[in-house]
Structure 1
């Protein structure tokens, strides 16, 4: 289905199953098909899965103007309202997790059942007090180091074959408009959602990857110490950055346990 946002931009969205709604938010350069392993699990276990291509991504409307992370946060809010979702769970991967963190910060009183972020610290740039940023990008050098080409593999051993068979053809049909979105990447990197997580009253699970090629997994433990009542940290092994698509069975067990009882995870 197509959903029109507050400014007229149209996003491509799909709903699967019936039950408690779970909104899945992909990352920078991604598409909704990265969640196929979670969609099938959610439907089989009595949830409704909602996936969509973010603004200027995938099958959503291409736009010429600049996109910022706050546009994506507002899009998520618009989508929830238009679909009339009641107390949804929000699960985001990579930049999609940043969008979820932003939602927690800008809509603190919105009724959510829980939130999850996958391999994404709330601040992407390192400094003397925060050593968990993206590779060697810091507050001082990010304009150079963020965009330089690197020989880094996003995954540890590739995507799970079941996911790849669905994701790869869709990705070829919906190529990413990188040039048009470089400003979004810089804007995302400059965001700092630590305060949002520190003060949220929504039970939030931060899934970090011990073997992530991009981030130090200990960021999740640090955030848990700042808000131990509502932030839960879990470090997983056996995957790179795309945890949910590399080891979907293991991730789905984690996701299922959190959805069942987020407060006591």
Structure 2
């Protein structure tokens, strides 16, 4: 299905199932097909699931417009509004979590009843105040390091059906890293610690024990920022926690959803 944003960009989305709505927000360069195991679990448990490709990713329009987290956050707000969704749980992976932090910065709780962060530190750049950023990225390497290959994101193999779905989507709609570089820079520049500290809805942060991108100890820092935050390290998982260890992740997500959904 297609949705046109207020700045006239076409987004591709899927809206399946019924019941309480859950929005799944993909990471940088990823297509919505990566959520295959999560979506199947949620649909089997009677939830409504909305997935979409961010602008410049997957089957959505590839454009120079809106290469910033704030615009991506507005896209989420507008998509939910177009679907008449006033209450939902948002689950963001990597940059998708940053998009939702941006959403909260703009709209407060808005249409959200809760938020899940999958393997995304609230601050990407390491400095004297924060030691849990993206790999070893510091102000000395920023933004030049983002022009280099980011390296393997996973620690274990993802199931064949999900890999096949992602490969097919990528073949049909190739991702252009260079065209999205300005967005990657904007994403990495942000500091969401104030948003995490003052999160207006129930918040769960999940990290992969073997994530090549983030030290899972960032969860401890999140708990210092917000003592109400729930955190969970998923064993033997890399950055794509929900796809690498779907059974374990779905169990954690399922417990959290039960606390949120009416």
Q: Give the TM-score, by structure 1 length.
A: 0.94
Q: Are positions 1:75 and 2:80 aligned together?
A: no
Paired position in structure 2 for 1:46: 46
1:166 deviation in Å?
Answer: 2.1
Paired position in structure 2 for 1:160: 159
Q: Alignment RMSD, CA only? A: 1.5
How many pairs does the alignment contain? 261
CA distance in 1 between partners of 2:159 and 2:173 (Å): 20
Paired residue for 1:251, among 241, 249, 252? 249
1:262 deviation in Å?
Answer: 4.7
CA distance in 2 between partners of 1:118 and 1:31 (Å): 16
CA contact (8 A) 2:14 2:50 kept: yes
CA distance in 1 between partners of 2:144 and 2:71 (Å): 24
CA distance in 2 between partners of 1:111 and 1:11 (Å): 19
Deviating above 6 A after TM superposition, structure 1's stretches of 4 or more consecutive aligned residues are none
CA distance in 2 between partners of 1:199 and 1:56 (Å): 30
CA distance in 2 between partners of 1:109 and 1:261 (Å): 17
Q: Are positions 1:225 and 2:232 aligned together?
A: no
- After superposition, what is the alpha-carbon deviation per residue over 1:85-123, rounded to whole angstroms, capped at 9, x for unaligned? 131000010100111111122211414221101000111
CA distance in 2 between partners of 1:227 and 1:88 (Å): 22
- After superposition, what is the alpha-carbon deviation per residue over 1:201-220, rounded to whole angstroms, capped at 9, x for unaligned? 20010001121101111112
Paired position in structure 1 for 2:29: 29
Paired position in structure 1 for 2:232: 234
Paired position in structure 2 for 1:192: 191
What's the secondary structure of 2:15's corresponding residue?
A: strand
What's the secondary structure of 1:113's corresponding residue?
A: strand
CA contact (8 A) 2:119 2:239 kept: yes
Q: Are positions 1:182 and 2:181 aligned together?
A: yes
CA distance in 1 between partners of 2:256 and 2:184 (Å): 30
1:26 deviation in Å?
Answer: 0.3
CA contact (8 A) 1:66 1:181 kept: no
What's the secondary structure of 1:142's corresponding residue?
A: coil
61-70 vs 190-199, which deviates more?
61-70
CA distance in 1 between partners of 2:81 and 2:66 (Å): 24
CA distance in 1 between partners of 2:175 and 2:28 (Å): 9
CA contact (8 A) 2:234 2:248 kept: no
**Contiguous gaps of at least 5 residues in structure 2:** none
Paired position in structure 2 for 1:101: 101
What's the secondary structure of 1:211's corresponding residue?
A: coil
Change beyond 3 A, Cα 1:66–1:180? farther
What's the secondary structure of 2:143's corresponding residue?
A: helix
CA distance in 2 between partners of 1:137 and 1:215 (Å): 11
Q: Give the TM-score, by structure 2 length.
A: 0.95
CA distance in 2 between partners of 1:246 and 1:142 (Å): 29
1:4 deviation in Å?
Answer: 0.7
Paired position in structure 2 for 1:212: 211
220-229 vs 234-243, which deviates more?
220-229
**Contiguous gaps of at least 5 residues in structure 1:** none
CA distance in 2 between partners of 1:111 and 1:32 (Å): 21
Correspondence list, 1:113-128, <5 A: 113-128=113-128
